[in-house]
Amino acid sequence: MKRFWLLFSQTVTVLLAVIFVVSTLKPQWLIFVPRSAGHLTLLEAPASATQQRPAGSLSEASRIASPSVVSINTSKNAKRHHKGDPWFRFFNGDPNEQDLSGLGSGVIVSPQGYILTNHHVVEEADGIEVVLHDGRKAIAKVIGIDPDTDLALLKIELDKLPAIVLGNPEKLLVGDVVLAIGNPFGVGQTVTSGIVSALGRNHLGINTFENFIQTDAAINPGNSGGALVDVNGHLMGINSAIYSRSGGSMGIGFAIPVSTAKTVMDSLLKDGKVTRGWLGIEPTELSPESAQAFGIVLNGPSGQPPQGVMIAGVLQNGPAAKAGLKPGDVITQVSEHPVRNVSELLSRVAALQPGTASTLVILRDNKLVELTVNPGTRPLSSASKPR
């Protein structure tokens, strides 16, 4: 009898353990479906059942990043901005006090309320309202702007702000999946997906300093200043521009890498402006025609000029002139970094510390010469100056 009760208790224990495991992992197996003639019985998973997302779903990345992306509404005083403009008056009549508005997006990058967006989103705005993902609203203050990279830093005074995690765009590869999150056409927050189409895009004529991430994720007017995130929901870039013949997305969008945005943000927080190095030169691409004109030996059987950027002009008494640079010189390196085009030269020179001696390698009379230059401070563009 004792052995029988021991066997019975062990059997009951095992059955209870099996029921517990099944109810936890596969609760639908325990649903009793009665047989009934002439009736259709439908099985529905309990509300507590774990829902598995389809393979390839990007819902988790969207869930993580979306709360950090805000809508930005701006207003402008038409009378102030178009005062004395007869053409505006002719086509639009007398402007009202507050009849110009704009829409854009931004990204909360700090729990303290700092928001990154595009400069063109808030340019000349008299009022900036930020609308959070949870519906809260706040008036934003402009901390600083940098038209040369089309970035602006705002600040709002709210608590419990969901700051996004900054990613590392250096690890992005062409073909990686990305999401674009913003407020296109003012319809509300929208998430689109695509891949990284290209990296390091420049020569677009959009900004002075260009190093864009190109993506085919749909980006439309109103997405400007929004987030480009990876599959982990980490910020990779600030959506900035599109190539379009119709005004809508054509599958070519450009985002400013977050590494560039962070450098600009740090400078704006520290000084209220971005300080960059400056040489006082007019650079131009080195073409076979310009190389022949200055007697530069062309390399190889294809007749290509050497790698570098030609100096077309030198500002009198500027840092370059004081260092001995002359028109016709070809800059091949800046502080041991090779330069292959004007965009790279501008970026390398901008990264120099004003007043700190730096080395340049130039090609002069078909010989490499090393010069020392003390960079100045790049003058602020007109849009960067205090209003």
| Catalytic option among 146, 148, 150, 230 | 150
User: Is 369 buried (19+), middle (13-18) or exposed (0-12) by CB count in 10 A?
Assistant: middle
Give residue 15's identity as a one-letter amino acid code.
L
Give residue 37's identity as a one-letter amino acid code.
A
Give residue 106's identity as a one-letter amino acid code.
G
What lies within 8 Å, CB to CB, of 274 at 6+ separation is: 144, 146, 148, 149, 264, 267, 268, 384
Give residue 321's identity as a one-letter amino acid code.
A
Q: Is 94 a catalytic residue?
A: no
Q: Cα–Cα distances in Å, from 335 out to 226, 247, 348?
A: 34, 42, 8
In whole angstroms, what is the distance from residue 165 CA to residue 163 CA?
A: 7
What lies within 8 Å, CB to CB, of 105 at 6+ separation is: 69, 70, 71, 72, 117, 121, 181, 182, 183, 222, 223, 224, 225, 226, 227, 239
Torsion region of 27: left, alpha or beta (phi above 0 gives left; psi -120 to 50 gives alpha): alpha
In whole angstroms, what is the distance from residue 63 CA to residue 188 CA?
A: 16
Q: Is 81 a catalytic residue?
A: no
| Catalytic option among 66, 105, 120, 347 | 120
Collapsed DSSP state (helix, strand, coil) of residue 281: strand
Q: Is 146 a catalytic residue?
A: no
| Catalytic option among 66, 68, 71, 224 | 224
The token duo for 336 is 């041991």
User: Is 94 buried (19+), middle (13-18) or exposed (0-12) by CB count in 10 A?
Assistant: exposed
Give residue 213's identity as a one-letter amino acid code.
I
Q: What do you get for the CA distance between the two ends of the chain, in Å? A: 97
Residues tagged active-site:
120, 150, 224
